[in-house]
């Protein structure tokens, strides 16, 4: 074998090696990209399922405002609905699903490192006094007798669950119920009614498009109707069944 043949053989081997390494790099990059997409899809699906389960399981419970506060002692349907904050009673637990006890559920949009994240808190229901302690005042609203209740701010805790992060926008909307035939339902950003729950809740999520995040994520809109009745409207057998299951006090 001459020197020229050796050089040609070495050159061909080098070209084959470079081609093989390039193919491996392309394959690894494709696998990583596919894995990122699958992880993102799984996160979106889990967040969508959790939010739908929480809202669909809302249980209307009347709460008694504290006599010693500046608010006149009166029963009101417990529900806090604002553009970036929501509090309600739900029979769906993040730990035990629909088999858990009634949960005081809090959803809060929280700024974090230049983006937004959706936080979730849950606490076991301890009675109407627990809900009344969350009411701090009221603001006058035209057409709403007694005004809209004001609640304590929702705070992140060590046990707080981050439902989804890396968001540029996250808003809550509430669908009003028809009180008359001629009155069409409307989506509102603040829920003012004190004696009724919304007909549905819509949660709109806009993922971040930063280069270090999966810009392939599409906007998410979760719209879930609320079917629950007031506890006072349930039959004695339904109340007995819920209490036996630990879902009513």
- Lowest mean pLDDT, pick from 31-40, 147-156, 167-176: 31-40
Q: pLDDT tens for residues 77-125?
A: 789 999 999 999 998 888 888 777 889 999 999 998 888 999 999 999 8
| Residue 239 lies inside a defined structural domain of this protein | yes
Q: pLDDT tens for residues 210-238?
A: 655 544 555 678 888 886 654 444 444 44
Residue 233 is predicted with a pLDDT of: 44
Q: Which is it for the CA torsion 64, 68, 71, 74, positive or negative?
A: positive
| Residue 94 lies inside a defined structural domain of this protein | yes
| Residue 44 lies inside a defined structural domain of this protein | yes
pLDDT at 197 over 70: yes
User: What b/e sequence results for 83-109 when a residue is b if at least 16 CB atoms lie within 10 Å of its CB, and e otherwise?
Assistant: ebbbbbbbbbbbeeeeebbbbbbbbbb
C-alpha to C-alpha distance for 173 and 93, rounded to whole angstroms: 22
Residue 248 is predicted with a pLDDT of: 52
C-alpha to C-alpha distance for 202 and 225, rounded to whole angstroms: 9
Residue 80's region, left for phi above 0, alpha for psi from -120 to 50, else beta, is beta
- Lowest mean pLDDT, pick from 20-24, 162-166, 168-172: 20-24
| Residue 23 lies inside a defined structural domain of this protein | no
Q: What average pLDDT does the chain have?
A: 77
pTM: 0.72
Q: pLDDT tens for residues 114-166?
A: 889 999 999 998 877 788 888 888 787 877 777 788 899 999 999 999 998 88
| Residue 16 lies inside a defined structural domain of this protein | no
| Structural domain count of the chain | 1
Domain that holds residue 60: 34-244
Alpha helices for 144-229 (secondary structure H): none
Phi/psi at 228 (nearest 5 deg)? -65, 150
| Residue 13 lies inside a defined structural domain of this protein | no
| Residue 17 lies inside a defined structural domain of this protein | no
Mean pLDDT of 66-75: 54
| Residue 173 lies inside a defined structural domain of this protein | yes
């Amino acid at each position: 074998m001459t020197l020229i043949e050796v050089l040609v053989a070495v050159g061909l081997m080098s070209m084959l090696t470079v081609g093989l390494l390039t193919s491996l790099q392309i394959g690894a990059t494709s696998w990583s990209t596919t894995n990122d997409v699958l992880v993102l899809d799984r996160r979106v699906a889990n967040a969508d399922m959790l939010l739908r389960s929480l809202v669909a399981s809302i249980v209307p419970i009347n709460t008694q405002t504290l006599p010693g506060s500046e608010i006149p002692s009166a029963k009101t349907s417990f529900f806090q609905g604002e553009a970036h904050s929501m509090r309600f009673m739900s029979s769906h637990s993040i730990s035990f699903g629909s088999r858990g006890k009634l949960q005081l559920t809090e959803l809060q949009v929280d700024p974090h490192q230049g983006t937004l994240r959706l936080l979730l808190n849950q606490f076991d229901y301890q009675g109407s006094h627990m809900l009344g302690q969350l009411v701090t005042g009221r603001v006058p609203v035209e057409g709403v007798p007694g005004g809209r209740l004001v609640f304590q701010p929702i705070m992140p805790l060590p046990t707080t669950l981050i439902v989804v992060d890396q968001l540029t926008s996250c808003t809550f909307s509430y669908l009003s119920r028809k009180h008359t035939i001629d009155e069409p339902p409307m989506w509102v950003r603040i829920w003012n009614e004190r004696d009724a729950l919304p007909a549905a809740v819509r949660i709109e999520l806009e993922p971040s498009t930063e280069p270090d995040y999966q810009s392939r994520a599409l906007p998410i809109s979760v719209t879930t109707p609320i079917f629950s009745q007031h506890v006072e409207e349930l039959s004695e057998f339904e109340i007995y069944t819920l209490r036996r299951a630990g879902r009513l006090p």
